[in-house]
Amino acid sequence: MAQPKCKFRGYTKVAYTNRGSISTSPIANASYAMQSAWERLSNLGVAIARVRRDKTRYEITTGDTFYAVHIGKSSFYIPLDNPNLPLNFARKVKLGEDNKGMQVLEVATNIDFSKFDKHIDLLENHLNPSIFKRLLNFVKSVFN
């Protein structure tokens, strides 16, 4: 099945969601590596992940609904525990009630997956500085 692609600012990107839509592909149709990244990010509490083609950022930001970690061309958006604004996706269910975990993975078609994987490692180290927590998360991911 061909993946829906979105032309944006002169380049092509692919977006994955749980079930897919007119403009996104279901994560079940993605490569094994992409599905594995989705699962790792979901276990870390990330709701939205983006891999850009050009823009590089190294910063941590907090908005009304998300805590965002930007590492190179990768950005990871984690919902705030007490957001200033409610966050709803298309089904109008507040994030955290029914639609927990990863919701959107958007990647440029020229993705360097090895760098993206390293960025996920850096994110995990930032969110879980304890070696014991990282080991526990690794064991959980193996048995899930």
Q: What is the pTM of this model?
A: 0.75
Contacts of 84 (CB under 8 A, 6+ apart): 64, 65
Please tell me the distance from the alpha carbon of residue 16 to that of residue 132, in angstroms, as a whole number.
31
Contacts of 110 (CB under 8 A, 6+ apart): 11, 53
Q: Mind listing the pLDDT tens digit of every residue in the chain (144 residues)?
A: 455 544 444 557 888 988 888 888 899 999 999 999 999 999 888 999 999 888 888 999 998 888 999 999 999 999 888 878 766 555 555 555 544 567 888 888 878 888 898 999 889 888 877 777 767 766 776 675
Rounded to whole angstroms, what are the CA distances from 115 to 10, 37, 39, 118? 22, 12, 17, 5
DSSP state of 94: B
For the chain, domain boundaries = 6-143
